[in-house]
Amino acid sequence: MTPLAATGWTVGYVIGIVVVLVVVALVVPILMLAARIGRQATDIDASLGDSVRHTAALTELHTTIDHATRIIAGLQRGRARLGG
């Protein structure tokens, strides 16, 4: 092998190692951020589940409003009959 060929291989290996190090330096923070997001996603999902359970009674709000409206109408009729 000629000295020039050996130098070419050495330069190639050095460039390859530098490229790999740059890729690793870029990918590792992304993977760390993804892991952190994954941990937070579990907490967020649990919190949303709690929110669904705690607000389930709001589905009956229309029924409550309907009953309150009927009560108010009855009170208004009673007041009108009493002359008030």
Confidence of residue 1 (pLDDT cuts 50, 70, 90): low
Q: How many CB atoms lie within 10 A of CB 29?
A: 9
Q: What single DSSP character describes residue 10?
A: H
Residue 84 has pLDDT above 80, yes or no: no
What single letter denotes the amino acid at residue 70?
R
**Can you read off the two tokens belonging to residue 38?**
């994954």
Residue 2 has pLDDT above 70, yes or no: no
Look up the pTM and report it: 0.50
What single letter denotes the amino acid at residue 35?
A
Q: Over the stretch 24-80, which tens digit does the pLDDT of each residue have?
A: 999 999 999 999 999 999 999 999 999 999 999 898 999 999 999 999 999 999 999
**Whole-number pLDDT of residue 6:** 76
If you average pLDDT over every residue of the chain, what do you get?
92
